[in-house]
């Protein structure tokens, strides 16, 4: 079970809030380890508003517990249902919210539904996708060339039913048949079970796989000259018949309608996010829904996670791609790490951790932080992990580094599931909370600013400049006579910037609101000659009534979500701009 920190949506709070996205693979209560419940005070110091937990359902060890055996039971390794209920109460008592992963596409082959289905028992007969296939001398000839995400055929012969069942992922994870209305109702009942427990929302995983084409035509090869029998890798086919089928969005919309039934109580809005990874930007945006048909509050935006190099130009492309394509009135989100992504330090170097966190917490919308990114944790090194998982997906999942005691304070046991990073003696919460220039202290300052400044939580985003080194943008809001100018250097060397050339009438000196160098916080800087070293970032405060989103030169480079204006007389946001 992993966790993330997050800042939520404007309809949920008076400002956007901050999501924390995945807690270490641990538990809620355990005599040998501190639980999530024990760390809620720490989460509050990060100005986090929501905790997001990955799968904790009773399951096998296949695919990080996404082969669920029982959607209404807690896996004993994490605790009991009573532990979970106590966790929800504790989270709510701290004024926080909890969202959890939900995987509707498939179950474990040990799930009672599958056992009944393979025996053709009553209504469960068609709960999964079965089809005739030939199986002779231990060799299966599948109905078509469809492939599993993990490679090889997505059909597997079942000795009990004497048919093949379809699995988009592991063979131990048979796909549910969502063309059967009974299956959809079962999933909705599971949602209601957890909503009644008090969870504040779901992250729906793998939703693009919910439906497959009714026909069984072969999918088209990427390389048409490749011998068909050698096509075994998922990337070697175009998946036009097994992803994003007609009717899939209607299923997701029905999830939204179920959740809305639990959002009627004041202050209990239920959040819905969808995983849309590896989708094109136009397909990703479809998860927001239509003007009068609501779907996800937002599809999770992992485009920053896909970058393996940094530059001002690349960051500009990622940001504007989302903002230009997002439907009017919808809400953006950003994440810089996750369970299946190389950590920032290991991907770009520790020089850029603070810069990326400054970017994350000054962009419009909801920031999502993977646990440990606030202190600059890195991937563990490749080692003999003796695990059934793809080890390449394990290196970012090491224990949270709390202090320099045994197992980084994560556990008092003899060992942990994954080893701690060798740098835990110097990269940990205890050390960084006392260092004024640490990644943690900057993160806390940035998240505090994000929560308390309407310029960041609700304001316009206007791009001023970008090049191979830097990206420069403003955050501003109608009704507030000042703006923030954010300058970030993602280049491989220092860069000299002259804001006087970009902004007419700019004062020669501006105050530094926040800096990646804590010593310069609160000081003034010469706007005609700003030196940004590699990985440096600045937030400058500028008092003006001449907002950039009204200026013709920047009109096409300014974006806003849920436009609002601030009334200082009434101290409220309003829509009459």
Q: Which residues are catalytic?
A: 205, 275
Q: Are 330 and 477 in contact (CB under 8 A)?
A: no
Residue 258, classed as helix, strand or coil, is: helix
Nearest C-alpha neighbor of 326 from the set 284, 360, 361:
284
Q: How many CA atoms lie within 13 A of 23 on its CB side?
A: 26
Q: Provide the pairing of β-strand 333-335 with 366-370.
A: parallel
- Indicate left, alpha or beta for 267 from its phi (over 0: left) and psi (-120 to 50: alpha): left
Total count of residues recorded for the chain? 577
Q: How many CA atoms lie within 13 A of 557 on its CB side?
A: 18
Structure tokens belonging to residue 234 = 């998922």
Nearest C-alpha neighbor of 113 from the set 168, 181, 175:
175
Please state, in angstroms and rounded to a whole number, the distance separating the CA atoms of residues 357 and 3.
17
Residue 472, classed as helix, strand or coil, is: strand
First to last CA, the chain: 44
Nearest C-alpha neighbor of 556 from the set 320, 281, 360:
320
Strand partners, 101: 203
Please state, in angstroms and rounded to a whole number, the distance separating the CA atoms of residues 164 and 171.
11
Task: Assign 3-state DSSP to the chain and report helix, strand, coil percentages, each to 5.
Answer: 30, 20, 50
Structure tokens belonging to residue 60 = 């096998």
Strand partners, 5: 51, 369
Residue 300, classed as helix, strand or coil, is: coil
Contacts 24+ apart (CB under 8 A), 55-58: 55/1, 55/101, 55/103, 56/1, 56/84, 56/100
Nearest C-alpha neighbor of 349 from the set 538, 490, 468:
490
Strand partners, 440: none
Which position has the token pair 């919910």? 210
Please state, in angstroms and rounded to a whole number, the distance separating the CA atoms of residues 314 and 467.
9
Q: Provide φ and ψ at 38, rounded to 5°.
A: -70, -20
Nearest C-alpha neighbor of 5 from the set 45, 35, 32:
45
Other CB atoms within a 10 A radius of the CB of residue 214 amount to 8
């Amino acid at each position: 079970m992993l966790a993330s920190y997050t800042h939520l949506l404007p309809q949920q709070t008076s400002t956007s809030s901050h999501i924390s996205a995945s807690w270490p693979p641990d538990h809620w209560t355990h005599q040998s380890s501190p639980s999530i419940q024990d760390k809620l005070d720490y989460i509050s110091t990060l100005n986090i508003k929501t905790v997001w937990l990955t799968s904790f359902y009773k399951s096998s060890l296949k695919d990080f517990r996404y082969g669920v055996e029982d959607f209404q039971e807690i896996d004993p390794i994490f605790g009991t249902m009573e532990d979970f209920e106590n966790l929800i109460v504790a989270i709510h008592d701290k004024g926080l919210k909890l969202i959890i992963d939900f995987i509707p596409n498939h179950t474990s082959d040990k799930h009672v539904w599958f056992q009944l289905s393979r025996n053709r028992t009553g209504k469960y007969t068609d709960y999964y996708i079965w089809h005739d296939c030939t199986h002779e001398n231990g060799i299966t000839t599948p109905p078509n060339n469809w492939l599993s995400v993990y490679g090889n055929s997505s059909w597997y012969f079942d000795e009990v039913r004497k048919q093949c069942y379809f699995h988009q992922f592991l063979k131990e994870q048979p796909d549910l048949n969502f063309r059967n209305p009974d299956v959809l109702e079962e999933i909705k009942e599971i949602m209601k079970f957890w909503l009644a427990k008090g969870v504040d929302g779901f992250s729906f995983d793998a939703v693009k796989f919910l439906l497959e084409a009714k026909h069984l035509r072969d999918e088209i090869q990427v390389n048409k000259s490749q011998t068909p029998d050698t096509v075994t890798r998922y990337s070697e086919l175009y998946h036009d018949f097994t992803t994003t089928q007609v009717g899939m969005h209607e299923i997701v919309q029905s999830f939204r309608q179920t959740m809305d039934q639990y959002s009627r109580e004041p202050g209990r809005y239920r959040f819905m996010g969808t995983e849309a990874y590896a989708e094109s930007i136009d397909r990703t945006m479809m998860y927001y829904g239509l003007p009068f048909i609501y779907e996800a509050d937002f599809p999770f935006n992992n485009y920053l996670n896909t970058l393996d190099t940094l530059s001002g130009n690349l960051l500009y492309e990622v940001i504007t791609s989302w903002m230009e394509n997002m439907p009017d009135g919808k809400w953006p989100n950003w994440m810089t790490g996750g369970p299946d992504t190389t950590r920032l330090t290991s991907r770009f170097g520790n020089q850029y951790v603070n810069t990326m966190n400054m970017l994350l917490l000054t962009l419009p919308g909801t920031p999502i932080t993977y646990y440990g990114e606030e202190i600059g944790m890195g991937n563990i090194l490749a080692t003999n992990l003796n695990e059934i998982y793809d080890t390449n997906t394990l290196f970012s999942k090491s224990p949270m580094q709390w202090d320099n005691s045994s197992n980084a304070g994560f556990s008092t046991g003899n060992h942990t599931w994954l080893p701690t990073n060798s740098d835990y003696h110097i990269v940990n919460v205890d050390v960084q909370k006392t260092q004024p220039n640490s990644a943690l202290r900057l993160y806390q300052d940035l998240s505090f600013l994000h929560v308390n400044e309407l310029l960041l939580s609700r304001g316009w985003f206007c791009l001023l400049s970008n090049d191979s080194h830097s990206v420069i943008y403003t955050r501003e809001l109608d009704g507030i006579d000042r703006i923030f100018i954010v300058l970030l250097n993602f280049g491989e060397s220092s860069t000299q910037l002259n804001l006087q050339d970009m902004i007419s009438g700019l004062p020669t000196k501006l105050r530094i609101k926040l800096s990646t160098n804590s010593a310069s916080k609160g000081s003034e800087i010469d706007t005609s000659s700003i030196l940004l070293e590699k990985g440096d970032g600045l937030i400058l405060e500028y008092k003006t009534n001449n907002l950039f989103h009204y200026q013709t030169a920047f009109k096409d480079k300014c974006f806003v979500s849920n436009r609002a204006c601030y009334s200082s007389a009434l101290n409220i946001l309003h829509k009459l701009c």
